Amino acid sequence: MSYTVLVFVKQVPDTQNITGDAMKADGTVNRAVLPAIFNPEDLNALEMALQLKDRYGVKVVVATMGLPAAADVLRQAMYRGADEGILLTDRAFAGADTLATSFALSCAAKKVKYDLILCGRQAIDGDTAQVGPQVAEKLELPQIAYAEEIISLGDGKVVARRAIEGGYEVLESPLPAVMTVIDANIPRPMAARRIMKFKRARIKSEIVKEHADANYTDDAAIEAKMAELKDKGLLIQEWTAADVDADLDRIGKAGSPTKVKAIASVVLTASESKQVEATEAGITELIHELIADHTLG
Amino acid sequence: MANFFSDNRDLEFTLNNLDLLEAVALRENNYEFAKEFETAPVDYADALDNFNRVLSVVGEICGDNIEPRSRTVDREGPHFADGVVTYHPLTQANLEDLRKADVSGVMLEHRFGGLNFPVSVYTMMTEMVSRADASLQNLFGLQDIAETIAEFGSEEQKQQYLPKFAQGLVDGSMDLTEPDYGSDLQAVKLRAWQDEKTGQWYLNGMKRFITNGCAQVHLVLARSEEGTSDGRGLSMFICEACPQLVVRRIEDKMGIHGVATCELQYNDVPAQLCGKRRLGLIRYVMSLMNGARVAISAQAVGIAEAAYRAARQYAAEREQFKKSIDKFPAIYDMLAGMKAKLTAARTLLYETTRAVDLRTVYTHLAEEPNATAEVKNMAKYYNKLAAILTPMCKAMATESANQIAYDTIQIHGGTGFMRDFNAERFYRDARITNIYEGTTQLQVVAAIGGVMQRDADKRLEEMFAIEFEGESARLAEIVKGLYAKQLEAVKFVADRKDVAYHDLHARDLVEMETYVFVGMLMLRDAQKCEDRFVLAERYILDSQAEFAKRYAKVMSGDLTVIDHHRDVIDY
């Protein structure tokens, strides 16, 4: 049995370290001023995949869509234990909402042999939690959202525990399947020797740029470098929209019906507080009051 | 989100100014290893990049994972029952985090799956681990054991143990101290005997105060030569945990609670000889101890860093008389003095590790058949330099850590005396550092020869030759003045040819040497970063008075302590 687990990850602005310029005039995130990090719940998804690698020897392929700089999160995934990386990058992908993003990712998935797709539940820049389930829909695969732990993988099926309100449920699904993963494990640290090896991993754009910086643009040399890196397992795939046969009307801005209409800054202010006596009478009085102002009932 | 590497400006400065160009090139076989091993660096910049990246990972684990667990580990400690030591689940989690980060064989060669980093970089890791949890350093710092096997073991022993150490699959301990012999290791009694038919060695006897004595792999100092009673009858052995090796109890200690300190009983434990017979103490254990002394110096610096930060934060937040207490001269004087001591200890620590790194590479080169005279001289030089700096550093760093931890409690006031704050833990943890791996008194014994023989003079002259300007030049003149007095004091003591007087003032002389040497290191550092000038200024001006006190004692020629100590003690 040699399964392949495809993990979709995202490079996101670090919204925990917000500064004044974090939002642009149009209400979208100003990515330029925030440090780019590995989306936290995607690290949980990667950890889940790496645990499957430890237990079953699965191959872990990590993919992301983004600017060439997003190759960083793929390298970081490799430092932690991922085997291969794929970057979807193309101007045509730019400006995508969740619908266009999930379509692009589903096109990429069709180019990869996989048995299981893992995604973080949601990204800290948009907090939509839509992309994973949409990918499943587009690929017409069963999905397990809010997964905490994989109990077993084998015989063409996966058994997993997912969080539900007030508890959990255990589900079995045939493979291939899509799962979205919550913050229920502790991502492993990056490993020193993997860092020392995979820090040399490159996408084609980076190789081209490094050659150009050296004032050197020989296509054959670039090809040779790519072949050399590929040999060593250090070439990160770089795919354009054409490479994944994506319909240009369904990706990027063109494929995104979502428009930011207005952004409002909501300031919550505390009003006066009221003491309720911890007696039967006090509680009864409070309940009547809540019914009267339609909070209850 | 805390990172004990990236939040530490002094450590970052240290890494960028390590001056390991030569040591790393030699260690990496002039970067030839890069052709053979995919993790080996291709040049110094590449190596430095690796150091930076890996230190950052360790810094993050220390800040995010290990430090938050440290209070519980201190309170609850390891568990011992029926001869079995079980580490606290959080200690186990710490070790697992470090194992996953692949830093179990930091200094081991590439061919064994190690990182082949110099000891200077490993020391930065041990320092950060100590800052997070001093007791964990006693486990993480045991990589010196694998290092010792790498240095003196047979190829077979290396193949047997080193890959396992590198992957973090086994841990180690060094079993030296016995119930009756601590400082006086040459009198060690644990018996090693050999079965004449099979050639198999067995160990019999007791060891005490063994850090992580529950380890899988032990390096044991034992008496292999019957009828001997001194250090030359001792050899070093490797043995593994087995039913014949019994952990009798673990100690109930004042500090470093997270690690088990064991009493061990050897009932004919099968063992392998490591290296040559009779060289156990005089060669191998001395080398092992020197490595451990650097590690303990780093432990002390790590605790001092944690303590200083706690003191600084508390002083900034605590308000009395309508202002934060760090606005009062009595407090900011203490804080500035602590900071100067801390940075001084760190700069001496990494000056020491640099000498150790160069000694290691040149010693290996000198052992090769076609070694040139120049290489042999370099090996000799760095050997001497490391031999004086290591004990000097351990004495200075560990005593400073104690002073800093003491002042941290003082700054906290009554709060610092309570167990609700970390201050008292730092104080308890620091207290062992100037005791184990040789007390400060023994470090003085180890360093005084080098002081009298002027083994650090060449390095001092290199620093005196730096062209200082302005205020730095003035400070350099002060240190040069102290140096002239130090030479005078050394000559004064040497000329008396009085062993008792020499021994009585050995500590004064070693400390005076330290003030001069570290004063120059601080000035050298200030040349590279002007913000550090104030640190150098503070350290040197503080040193002046301390030096003068010791100088007066040494030059007094006073014999009353020698003549009357008994009467004083017995009154």
Domain boundaries defined on chain B: 172-278, 456-570
Q: How many CB pairs under 8 A join A and B?
A: 43
Q: Do A199 and B53 touch (CB under 8 A)?
A: yes
Q: Which of A208-212, B373-377, B428-432 has the lowest mean pLDDT?
A: A208-212
CA distance B388 to B267: 39
**Residue whose C-alpha is closest to residue A125's, from A184, A49, A42:** A42
Cβ pair B300, B292 in contact under 8 A: no
Q: Does domain B456-570 have CATH number 1.20.1070.10?
A: no
Nearest CA in chain B to A194: B39
Report pLDDT for A128. 87
CA distance B490 to B486: 6
Over residues A241-254, the mean pLDDT reads 91
Domain assignments of chain A as residue spans, ordered by start: 4-201+236-250
Over residues B138-149, the mean pLDDT reads 90
Beta-sheet pairing, A143-154 with A177-181: parallel
- Within 13 Å, how many C-alpha atoms sit on residue B149's CB side? 33
> Global pTM?
0.91
Q: The domain B172-278: what is its CATH number?
A: 2.40.110.10
- Within 13 Å, how many C-alpha atoms sit on residue A197's CB side? 25
Tokens for A220, please give them: 């054959």
| Range with the largest mean pLDDT of A18-22, A213-217, B151-155 | B151-155
Q: Do A197 and B115 touch (CB under 8 A)?
A: no
Nearest to A191 among B1, B60, B102 (CB): B102
B72 phi, psi to nearest 5 deg: -65, -40
How far is it between the farthest Cα atoms of chain A? 86
Interface residues of chain B, partner chain A, Cβ below 8 Å? 1, 38-41, 49-50, 53-54, 57, 60-61, 97, 100-103, 106, 113, 115
Q: Do A196 and B41 touch (CB under 8 A)?
A: yes
Residues 46-65 of A with CB under 8 A from B: none
Nearest to A190 among B1, B101, B115 (CB): B101
- Within 13 Å, how many C-alpha atoms sit on residue A154's CB side? 8
Residues 163-182 of A with CB under 8 A from B: none
Cβ pair A108, A63 in contact under 8 A: yes
ipTM for the predicted complex comes to 0.89
Looking at the domain covering A4-201+236-250, what would its CATH class be? Answer: alpha beta
Within chain A, how many helices (H) and strands (E) appear? 8, 11
Percent composition of chain A: helix, strand, coil (DSSP 3-state, to 5): 35, 25, 40
CA distance B364 to B438: 27
CA distance B181 to A1: 59
Nearest CA in chain B to A79: B101
What confidence tier does A57 reach under pLDDT thresholds 50, 70, 90?
Answer: very high
Cβ pair B476, B527 in contact under 8 A: no
- Kindly report the number of other CB atoms within 10 A of residue B304's CB atom: 32
Average pLDDT, chain B: 95
Q: Which of A8-17, A160-169, B96-105, B549-558 has the lowest mean pLDDT?
A: A8-17
Nearest-Cα distance to chain B for A10, in Å, is 20
Nearest to A194 among B1, B97, B102 (CB): B102
- Kindly report the number of other CB atoms within 10 A of residue B196's CB atom: 7
Q: Do A195 and B60 touch (CB under 8 A)?
A: no
Q: Which of A13-17, B59-63, B444-448 has the lowest mean pLDDT?
A: A13-17
CA distance B311 to B317: 10
Residues in chain B: 571
Beta bridge partners of B271: B201, B239
Report pLDDT for A113. 93
Q: Do B102 and A193 touch (CB under 8 A)?
A: yes
Asked whether the predicted pLDDT for residue A1 surpasses 60, the reply is: no
DSSP string across B347-395: HHHHHHHHHHHHHHHHHHHHHSTT--HHHHHHHHHHHHHHHHHHHHHHH
